[in-house]
Amino acid sequence: MKISVDIKSFLSLGCDILAVGLFQSKGVKNPFFDQIDERLKRRLSRLIKKEDFKADVANTKLIYTEGLLKARSVLIVGLGDKQKFNLETIRKAGAAIQTQAKQIKAGIVVSEIMGTALRDAPDCAQALVEGWLLNQYRFERYVKKTPESVRQWLLCPGQSRLKANIERAVRLAQTLTEGVYLCRDLVNTPASDMNPLALARAARRLKGVRKRVHNLAAIKKMKMGAFLGVARGSTANPPYFIEMHYQPKARAKKRIAIIGKGVTFDSGGYSIKHAKAMETMKDDMAGAAAVIGLMSIVSRLKPRVAVSGYIAATENMVDGRAQRPGDILRALNGKTIEVLNTDAEGRLTMADALAYANKKKPDYIIDIATLTGSCLVALGTQYTGILGNDQELMDKLIACGNETGEKIWQLPLADEYREELKSQIADLKNIATSPYGGTITAALFLENFVGKTKWAHLDIAGPSFSEKNLPYTPAGGTGVMVRTLAQLLSEF
């Protein structure tokens, strides 16, 4: 689909759908709506009155124009209460237009850029395009591809002077979506096909970044004992340690390390999961997928910071050589870990990846991991948990999440629970004594491997995978945090 910004009068354009936004609240002037309404002999206003059309967010109504306009149909898209309006409203509107366009097999769609009465047109255009494209995503690796009916989507801004800025915003939305698509594809691919090697290959394919992949022998040489403890469970699919580096053209303002959990399948190991809990465990590399998704577009986003992505990729399986509960491992930073539960494997792989990243002395460390079921209990399926040692960095991430619609909620890195991780015979144990506060104790465990570096930890166990369709996010891997991290990088 070609997306272009057209400053000709939208009334003169022939198309299958002409989309126009409508707020619930009166008093938001929309000249687009009024002009269309007039040409349709007030049919829109009458229809809304008669049928009591509620302009709830993403509620739509399709009206055929029967020759009164060049457009074959007009689509009214609800924008809800103007008091509650934000970019998320526009994303949902974009998704609603896409759904309708697909349903009536539209070839050409024209739409106004909704929300411009309340926010800058380029921001609105970006959100509208994101909403459409994110909603359009299908995972088609194992089924016959269905071609998209829409060939062309024309965005009509009110004024021509913003055209260049809007075009830039559209391109940005397309780039961001591409990163999200890659992330979703990696997560949706079953674990048999998306094993550590496949993940390493996905990283190797990236453009515009320097890559380095370490194999088992190299990982042993590096003494990543915690990571290796987990990897021992999979002789069939050996581990890889993946690095990706982006360097801006000008001197980097800051250096940021982003570490993604890359457990390509989490059976639990000998502390094996029950069948139901294992069903979606191909998703346990969603943190790694987000990092790869981000690194796949970073050279086009051109942030002013240096970005390094790190992934300790492994499966967590059972095997004659697999680690056993009670084993003691020595992490890269020298700390010893008593493994009491092999299902708390994410923190073991992350420990070495964090310690490795920290040795390079970055200004910030951000890690992203499907780390704890407790985070699902605490925050449900749609909120990412955030913990860390630097409030400013966490506040920044939370603010970026508010912009992108990816909700982030902070939990405390509670001093009081530190003793929960004390072992009698090693520096640490990999699970807390108490079954409560699992997201917090997991983060406290990770804290041992970041030194004094400013650090934020994102627990995406909930929002990385959705069992049901969400507004602009089809069921499956969601690609969560790709856009938020991209937003963060752009703000330095």
Shortest CA distance to 178 belongs to which of 492, 486, 488, 490? 486
Backbone angles phi, psi at 141, to 5 degrees: -65, -30
Site for ligand BES in 216-255 (CB under 6 A): none
Q: Site for ligand BES (CB under 6 A): which residue of 73, 116, 314, 374? A: 374
Active-site hit among 347, 429, 454, 483: 347
Q: With CB cut-offs between 5 and 8 Å by kind, which of Zn ion, ligand BES, none does residue 438 bind?
A: ligand BES
Amino acid (one-letter) located at 464: S
CA distances (Å), origin 74, targets 27, 46, 52, 108: 22, 14, 17, 12
Active-site hit among 273, 330, 360, 418: 273
Catalytic residue at 46? no
CA distances (Å), origin 280, targets 193, 258, 275, 309, 348: 15, 24, 10, 25, 20
Q: Which is nearer to ligand BES, 28 or 277 (CB)?
A: 277
Q: Which long-range contacts (CB under 8 A, 24 or more apart) does 298-301 make?
A: 298/208, 298/209, 298/246, 298/486, 298/489, 299/207, 299/208, 299/209, 299/246, 300/175, 300/208, 301/172, 301/175, 301/486, 301/489, 301/490
CB 484 to Zn ion: min, Å: 21
Q: Which is nearer to ligand BES, 282 or 483 (CB)?
A: 282
CB 243 to ligand BES: min, Å: 23
Q: Which is nearer to ligand BES, 12 or 433 (CB)?
A: 433
Q: Which is nearer to ligand BES, 293 or 346 (CB)?
A: 346
Query: Are 376 and 409 within 8 A, CB to CB?
Result: no
* Mask for 455-474, x = binds ligand BES (CB under 6 A): ------x-------------
Amino acid (one-letter) located at 359: K
Q: Site for Zn ion (CB under 5 A): which residue of 346, 385, 438, 462? A: 346
Q: Which is nearer to Zn ion, 225 or 287 (CB)?
A: 287
Q: In the block, which residue shows the tokens 């997560």?
A: 187
DSSP 72-90: SEEEEEE---GGG--HHHH
Applying CB under 6 A, which part among 25-33, 119-127, 292-300, 340-348 lies near ligand BES? Answer: 340-348
372 binds ligand BES (CB under 6 A): yes
Query: Are 21 and 80 within 8 A, CB to CB?
Result: no
Catalytic residue at 273? yes
Amino acid (one-letter) located at 110: V
Quote the CA–CA distance of 354 and 312 in Å, as a whole number: 10
Site for Zn ion in 278-307 (CB under 5 A): 284
290 binds ligand BES (CB under 6 A): no
Sheet of 73-78, strand order: 2-5, 152-156, 108-112, 17-22, 73-78, 60-64
Exposure string of 10-43, with b = 16+ CB inside 10 Å and e = fewer, is: bbebebbbbbbbbbbeeebebebbeebbebbeeb
346 binds ligand BES (CB under 6 A): yes
CB 438 to ligand BES: min, Å: 5
Element (H, E) at 127: helix 121-136
Q: Site for ligand BES (CB under 6 A): which residue of 37, 284, 315, 338? A: 284
Q: Site for ligand BES (CB under 6 A): which residue of 112, 123, 130, 345? A: 345
Applying CB under 6 A, which part among 111-119, 125-133, 323-331, 341-349 lies near ligand BES? Answer: 341-349
262 binds ligand BES (CB under 6 A): no
Q: How many residues bind Zn ion (CB under 5 A)?
A: 6
The residues of the shown chain that bind ligand BES, judged by CB under 6 A, are 266, 284, 341, 343-346, 370-374, 376, 431, 438, 461
The residues of the shown chain that bind Zn ion, judged by CB under 5 A, are 263, 266, 284, 343, 345-346
Residues annotated as catalytic are 273, 347
